[in-house]
Amino acid sequence: MSLDDTPRFDTLAIHAGAQPDPTTGARATPIYQTTSFVFDDVDHAASLFGLQAFGNIYTRIMNPTQSVLEERIAALEGGTAALATASGHGAQLIIFHTLLQPGDEFIAVRQLYGGSINQFNHSFKKFDWNVVWADADDISSIEKAITKKTKLIFCESIANPGGLVTDLGAISKIARRAGVPLVVDNTLATPYLCRPIEHGADIVVHSLTKFIGGHGNSMGGMIVDAGSFNWSREGRYPTLSEPCESYNGMKLHETFGGIAFAIACRVLGLRDLGPCISPMNAFLIIQGLETLSLRMKKHCKNTIKVAEHLSEHKAVSWVSYAGLRGDRHHKLAKKYCPNGAGAVFTFGLKGGYEAGVKVVSGVEMISHLANIGDVRSLIIHPSSTTHRQLSEQQQIAAGAGPDVVRLSIGLEDAADIIADLDKALAEAG
């Protein structure tokens, strides 16, 4: 391949961001397990602190293992730059801290991970960042929610827990008209299944804890800057457009152009709020990322088999998986996730709440825990766990009513996953 060829997805997943180490020649990315980096001299230190030179200062702000992970995800998502964080929630905190001032509003699509619903309803309220809820299945509800105070629109590409696919193109048009960025949580899809920037997203956020790491061993989050949004047009994003006091009055958007958002998230958000990723976790997630497309193919292949089986099971009242023909989101899935609709979905039990509790305790091989996106198959009954803080009405609105069980299908043999579910369903009656 020549210098001028553009590498394809699987090549980027292995190579992007990772040239061999300049001093040792190490081919795998080394774990730079250090808090800090020596300066070459006083002027070099001043240049780094003044953002005049690229380079490492302190692992709360950047680390060479972390930067390999960042460039790789930026490349896979088609963004200009990225920033890794300690967790998906840490990434969300930094995005909102960069874009909102006290008193501002944002619109979030209701079909979200329960933890994000909590973060928005309660913790973000303390900063006076005010969520206005809308409905992914009624796009006009998003348009109606826009006010002068709206600073961003937030949704998931494939929504947790219901596995439904969001109409990113339609929502991005609304965001464009309103002059606000569209922020898409792409955790459930991963860039292998969906690349939101291609559909108009301005910022992509990830919990790397899930399919990207993929092995259930490391927490991590990621913010990807599409480089597409004009932060200075109306002065509505002062952190980016106005002189920055903690950098001698520098204007970040003017100075950093298409990577200004990612830079602001790092040199203000991460620097001051502190949720940095550990080098060890960055390494483990890089390792996972290298097999992303292989794993996602098998995840999707197994999931369609399990979903088809459950949809014919007598104890099951419904299955919500956009990969199933006949599912109400199947058309959107074909448009936005042509390689597969992911590996997280929900189904309803005729036996309701009680049956849900029994099924999660009746499985032998599938793990009962609060995570998704592992090589292992995982199961949870949201209304007794992740979504228990919500009212029954809120649970139903989030696709996590009392009869709902969520599965995250792993990479075991599909026949064994099905056999385990059949056993638990039979016992639940």
Ligand X SMILES: Cc1ncc(COP(=O)(O)O)c(C=O)c1O
Is 3 an interacting residue with respect to other proteins (CB under 8 A)? yes
Task: Identify which of residues 82 and 316 has a Cβ nearer to ligand X in the complex.
Answer: 82
The interface partner of residue 55, options being other proteins, ligand X, none and the CB cut-off 5 to 8 Å by kind, is: other proteins
Least distance from C-beta 295 to ligand X, angstroms?
Answer: 17
Least distance from C-beta 343 to other proteins, angstroms?
Answer: 27
Q: Which of 29, 59, 65, 67 binds other proteins (CB under 8 A)?
A: 67
Strands 150-156 and 105-109: parallel
**132 near 107, Cβ under 8 Å?**
yes
Least distance from C-beta 412 to ligand X, angstroms?
Answer: 21
Q: Which stretch binds other proteins (CB under 8 A): 66-74, 159-167, 315-323, 401-409?
A: 66-74
Least distance from C-beta 287 to other proteins, angstroms?
Answer: 17
**173 near 200, Cβ under 8 Å?**
yes
Name the residues that contact ligand X, by CB under 6 A.
Answer: 87-89, 113, 115-116, 156, 160, 185, 187-188, 207, 209-210, 219, 221, 372
One character per residue 219-248, x = contact with other proteins (rule: CB under 8 A): ----------------------------xx
Provide the Cα torsion 275, 276, 277, 280; round to 10°.
Answer: -130
Residues 85-144 that bind other proteins (CB under 8 A): none
Is 259 an interacting residue with respect to other proteins (CB under 8 A)? yes
Task: Identify which of residues 113 and 124 has a Cβ nearer to ligand X in the complex.
Answer: 113
The residue type of 375 is V
Cis previous bond, 22, omega within 30: no
Residue 92 three-state SS: helix
Least distance from C-beta 81 to ligand X, angstroms?
Answer: 20
Task: Identify which of residues 282 and 425 has a Cβ nearer to ligand X in the complex.
Answer: 282
Read off the DSSP letter of residue 402: T
Residues 20-49 that bind other proteins (CB under 8 A): 20-23, 25, 27, 37-40, 44, 47-48
Region of 138 please: left (phi>0), alpha (psi -120 to 50) or beta. Answer: beta
The b/e string for 394-409 (b: 16+ C-beta within 10 A; e otherwise) is bbbbbbbbbbbbbbbb
Both structure tokens of 210: 């899930």
The interface partner of residue 185, options being ligand X, other proteins, none and the CB cut-off 5 to 8 Å by kind, is: ligand X
The interface partner of residue 21, options being ligand X, other proteins, none and the CB cut-off 5 to 8 Å by kind, is: other proteins
The interface partner of residue 39, options being other proteins, ligand X, none and the CB cut-off 5 to 8 Å by kind, is: other proteins
The candidate with the shortest Cα–Cα distance to 181, out of 127, 118, 128, 104, is: 104
The candidate with the shortest Cα–Cα distance to 264, out of 85, 97, 55, 69, is: 97
Task: Identify which of residues 20 and 179 has a Cβ nearer to other proteins in the complex.
Answer: 20
Read off the DSSP letter of residue 19: P
Least distance from C-beta 85 to ligand X, angstroms?
Answer: 9
**71 near 77, Cβ under 8 Å?**
no
The interface partner of residue 351, options being ligand X, other proteins, none and the CB cut-off 5 to 8 Å by kind, is: none
Q: State the chain's maximal CA–CA distance in angstroms.
A: 72
- Which residue in the shown chain puts its C-beta closest to ligand X? 88
The candidate with the shortest Cα–Cα distance to 96, out of 5, 180, 1, 194, is: 180
Both structure tokens of 344: 């997280």
The interface partner of residue 113, options being other proteins, ligand X, none and the CB cut-off 5 to 8 Å by kind, is: ligand X
The interface partner of residue 102, options being other proteins, ligand X, none and the CB cut-off 5 to 8 Å by kind, is: none
The b/e string for 9-44 (b: 16+ C-beta within 10 A; e otherwise) is eeebbeebbbeeeeeeeeeebbbbeeeeeebeeeee
Both structure tokens of 129: 């960042």
The interface partner of residue 29, options being ligand X, other proteins, none and the CB cut-off 5 to 8 Å by kind, is: none
**56 near 34, Cβ under 8 Å?**
no
The interface partner of residue 255, options being other proteins, ligand X, none and the CB cut-off 5 to 8 Å by kind, is: other proteins
* Binding residues vs other proteins (CB under 8 A): 2-4, 6-7, 11-12, 15-23, 25, 27, 37-40, 44, 47-48, 50-56, 62, 64, 67-68, 70-71, 74-75, 79-84, 247-250, 254-255, 257, 259, 262-263, 266
